[in-house]
Amino acid sequence: MKVFTFVYGIIAYTIFFITFLYAAGFMGNLLVPKDIDTGIDTTIFYASMVNTLLLTIFAIQHSLMARPAFKEWWTKIIGKAAERSTYVLFSSFALILLFWKWIPIKDVVWELSLIHI
């Protein structure tokens, strides 16, 4: 069982590392097939709703799995040694979903101009 948990941890953290690198490319529009500015053209309302849902999925997953009560319950199922790897893996999956389904907002959402006196 220790070998399985170790291999599982290696796989989970490898997926996290690749997801982390992809996040840098996604945000910086560098070297990734889909970045923050690519996707379907749609209304600002639809894009905002989809993106809010994606961010909410990540936030709920990330926050829920970090709670002590959830950890206590969850470690009874997967074991204490695999808890952190599972948290990292599920967080990576939530981010991968966000990268995949993200819809760019092509319109100007807000603009700031400085007045020089």
Q: Looking at residue 114, what is its pLDDT?
A: 81
Q: What is the reported pLDDT for 1? A: 81
- Is residue 113 included in any domain, yes or no? no
Please give the Cα distance from 8 to 2 (Å, whole number). Answer: 10
The span from the first CA to the last CA of the chain, in angstroms, equals: 70
- pLDDT at residue number 101: 97
Q: How many domains is the chain partitioned into structurally?
A: 1
Residue ranges in the chain assigned as alpha helix (H): 2-28, 44-66, 68-78, 83-101
Which pLDDT score, from 0 to 100, does residue 116 have?
A: 75
Look up the domain containing 19 and give its range: 2-101
The answer as to whether 107 is a domain residue is: no
Please list the ranges in the chain whose pLDDT falls under 70. 117
Joined together, the tokens standing for residue 48 give 């905002």
Is residue 110 domain-resident?
no
- Cα 4 from Cα 65, distance rounded (Å): 22
Token pair listed for 85: 């790897």
Question: What is the pTM for the complete model shown?
Answer: 0.87
